[in-house]
Amino acid sequence: MKIKFLGVRGSLPTPLTNNEYHQRLREVITLALQKKIQIENIETFIESLPLNLRTVFGGNTTCVVVTSESGKSYVIDCGTGIRPLGDELIKGDCGQGKGEIHIFITHTHWDHIQGLPFFKPLYIKGNILNFYSPYIDLEERLIAQQRDSRFFPAPFEKTLSTKKFILLKPESPIVFDDGLTVDCYPLKHPDGSYAYRFKQNGKIFIFATDVEFTGEVFEKVGSETDFFLNADLLVIDSQYTLDESFFKFDWGHTAYTAAVNCGIRWHVKKLVLTHHEPSYSDEKLATIYTEALEHREAMKTQTPELFMAVEGLVFTL
């Protein structure tokens, strides 16, 4: 499996501001002058920069694409990150009305569906969009998103692609013809959300965003048959700092310290922190990453390997 991040922000899109960009330029240029960098050393210099200077975490809301061993694509959520995915897909079969896309919906809060009206394959006759979720009324929810022409001019139900809705149950995995298996798990979040687990060739990828793993919830999870155990890659909500989470109890998101605790307890190999708070700058996100590493060290373990979700980041399992 290959997993690619197309949108990593929570709540709403967060573009980089001019002030942030100019400050970053000033810091990079200052460092370059101090080190007297030569043209032939530019790439090495860039790689040596602090995380917040060499990386733009990205401003699009949640969207991840999983590519199976057979080359089939499976999309998780339709945040604004799905728009550039659509631009890429129409260069192939989707542009000719011959594409078939599998989309898994964790829940239908705005930041997880707001990119769908701008997903170009949706509008092309002949394309088939398969929507998977545990929500019996998912079609009605997506229609409601584009129902009123005062807010969007193209009604969902009148777009030319064929839409199919497949109802999932947590206790019933779905097996695709390429051998990929997917099942889901209910999460603590206002009005609900679901984690998805992808399995193929002995590898496990789990996507669990929009969830509040508090001490109470955490203590209930962890048996040998647990959904989250032994994942090769777990992508987990970590929207808040610990201090902020105390003021946003029951908002449905997890502090990064609790996310790291989850990864340790569930024997995860690689843990990716995602659903970044929109008010957090790249500098603050880099600081959170450093503090997450320090927290793992304080827990006296070197696992799981920790990452921050960044647009364009790719993992291969």
pLDDT recorded at residue 281: 93
Neighbours of 226 (CB within 10 A): 14
pLDDT of residue 219: 60
Which ranges of the chain have pLDDT less than 70?
A: 215-225, 246
Is residue 44 in some structural domain? Answer: no
Q: What pLDDT does residue 163 have? A: 98
Per-residue pLDDT at 165:
98
> What's residue 171's pLDDT?
84
* pLDDT value at residue 124: 98
Q: Is residue 270 part of a domain?
A: yes
Task: Give the chain's length.
Answer: 317
In a domain, 43, yes or no: no
What is the tally of structural domains in the chain? 1
The answer to whether residue 107 is domain-embedded is yes
26 within some domain = no
29 within a domain of the structure (yes/no): no
User: Does residue 38 sit within a domain?
Assistant: no
Cβ 308 vs Cβ 280: under 8 Å: no
Supply the CATH number for residue 204's domain: 3.60.15.10
In a domain, 50, yes or no: no
Tell me the residue range of the domain where 163 lies: 2-13+56-316
pLDDT at 172 (0 to 100): 92
